[in-house]
């Protein structure tokens, strides 16, 4: 049996805790500003970005394992804005026409992680992002770290993969993932 292909991802070792109220208030202000920017847009329908394709099958398994092994390093930049802007709000409003602006804001605030990684995105909880893909900024839906992006570009993709998350010389490893039907 051949050795698995190693996919290297970043590694986050963070601390979980309840988000401070001032950070949640900053998020609420940001959401209000994003909705105002949407309301002021001349052609809000043109703000909606094309959805990134979602990996399927074995690729989806590898991506999920890669993100779980990493722990969410890419989420660290999300802060109190989660990359949400008027483009995200245009899509959310299109997909949820029954929600008024207040309901949209409440929908986001209800999904703030009760324990989030300190200094990271407010939606970055112990089990990953607390926002479903439909509420995430398209940047978050489309982003893959270098290791996962390189894996997704492989043609043909490897049949056996192991994820290695590295930071400051310390590693965290996944088990070996094998494409179904392969040994």
Answer yes or no: are the C-beta atoms of 104 and 89 closer than 8 Å.
Answer: yes
* pTM passes above 0.85: yes
Q: What is the pLDDT of residues 11-39, one digit of tens each?
A: 998 999 999 999 999 999 999 999 999 99
Q: What is the pLDDT of residues 59-109, one digit of tens each?
A: 999 999 999 999 999 999 999 999 999 999 999 999 999 999 999 999 999
What pLDDT was estimated at residue 174? 93
What pLDDT was estimated at residue 44? 87
Answer yes or no: are the C-beta atoms of 162 and 4 closer than 8 Å.
Answer: yes
Residue 182 clears pLDDT 70, i.e. is over it: no
Helix (H, G, I), strand (E, B) or coil at 5: strand
Q: What is the pLDDT of residues 1-11, one digit of tens each?
A: 688 999 999 99
Give exposure, 37-70, as e/b (b: 16+ Cβ within 10 Å). bbeeeeebeebbeeeeeebeebbebbbebbbbbb
The mean pLDDT value for 114-120 works out to: 95
* Nearest CA among 177, 179, 180 for reference residue 162: 177
């Amino acid at each position: 049996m051949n050795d698995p292909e190693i996919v290297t991802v970043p590694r986050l070792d963070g601390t979980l805790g309840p988000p401070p109220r001032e950070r949640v208030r900053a998020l609420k202000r940001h959401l209000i500003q994003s909705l105002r920017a949407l309301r002021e847009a001349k052609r809000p329908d043109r703000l909606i970005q094309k959805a990134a394709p979602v990996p399927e099958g074995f690729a989806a398994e590898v991506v999920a394992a890669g993100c779980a092994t990493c722990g969410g390093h890419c989420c660290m930049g999300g802060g109190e804005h989660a990359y949400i802007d008027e483009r995200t709000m245009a899509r959310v409003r299109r997909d949820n026409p029954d929600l008024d602006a207040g309901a949209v804001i409440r929908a986001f605030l209800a999904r703030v992680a009760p324990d989030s990684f300190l200094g990271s995105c407010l939606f970055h909880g112990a089990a990953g992002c607390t926002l479903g893909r439909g509420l995430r900024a398209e940047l978050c839906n489309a982003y893959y770290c270098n290791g996962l992006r390189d894996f997704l570009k492989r043609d043909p993709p490897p049949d056996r993969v192991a994820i290695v998350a590295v930071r400051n010389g310390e590693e965290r490893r996944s088990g070996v993932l094998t494409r179904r039907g392969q040994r």
